[in-house]
């Protein structure tokens, strides 16, 4: 599997997705620091939400083959500015999480990711398993 770093705001689903991709039972576990485990790098949402911590994400992205930008389908806004993926010399994919929640709007979240520059976007729901296999297949290519 290609090494994937997950970036997004707090509660966007990064750690839950990490647990699902590892085959672990889902449990709430607040990520306090950047965690390297095999082919996954989980990052705290505060790093994406705080300007001076965001620089660390840029540095850690060099440790990955693919950068995954996450936006929950329940989000009212996007942290990622237009064309931000042009700043990364790695493949960047978009991941829309929480797609099967009642208040979800996955079309809006996908649009934000595409505006950010993501050419490939996956829609998933880690709790139900929706779309997870497609992401795993892509990472295993």
CATH number at residue 91: 3.40.50.300
Q: pLDDT value at position 138? A: 97
Q: pLDDT value at position 135? A: 97
Please indicate whether residue 122 or residue 60 has the higher confidence score (pLDDT).
122
Radius of gyration of the chain (CA): 13
Distances 129 to 31, 92, 134 between C-alpha atoms, Å = 21, 22, 10
For the CA atoms of 111, 26, 90, 54, the dihedral, rounded to the nearest 10 degrees, stands at: 80
Count of the separate structural domains present in the chain:
1
At a CB cut-off of 8 Å and minimum separation 6, what does 62 contact?
90
Over the stretch 54-81, which tens digit does the pLDDT of each residue have?
777 877 888 999 999 999 999 999 999 9
Average pLDDT over residues 92-103: 96
Q: pLDDT value at position 106? A: 98
Q: Which domain holds residue 24?
A: 4-139
Q: Is the pLDDT reported for residue 109 higher than 90? A: yes
Over the stretch 15-62, which tens digit does the pLDDT of each residue have?
999 999 988 888 877 777 678 888 999 888 887 887 767 777 877 888
Q: pLDDT value at position 121? A: 98
CA distance 105 to 139: 25
Q: Is the pLDDT reported for residue 105 higher than 90? A: yes
Average pLDDT over residues 94-117: 97
Q: Is the pLDDT reported for residue 112 higher than 90? A: yes
- The mean predicted confidence, pLDDT, of the chain is 90
């Amino acid at each position: 599997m290609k090494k994937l770093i997950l970036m997004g705001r707090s509660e966007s689903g990064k750690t839950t997705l990490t647990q699902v991709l590892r085959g672990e039972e889902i449990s709430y576990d607040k990520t306090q620091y950047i965690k390297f485990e095999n082919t996954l790098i989980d990052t705290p949402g505060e790093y994406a939400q705080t300007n001076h911590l965001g620089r660390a994400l840029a540095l850690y992205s060099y440790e990955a083959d693919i950068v995954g930008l996450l936006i929950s389908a329940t989000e009212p806004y996007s942290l990622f500015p237009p064309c931000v993926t042009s700043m990364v010399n790695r493949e960047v994919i978009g991941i829309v999480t929480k797609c099967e929640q009642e208040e979800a709007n996955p079309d809006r979240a996908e649009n934000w990711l595409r505006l950010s520059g993501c050419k490939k976007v996956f829609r998933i729901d880690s709790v139900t398993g929706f779309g997870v296999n497609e992401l795993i297949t892509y990472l295993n290519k």
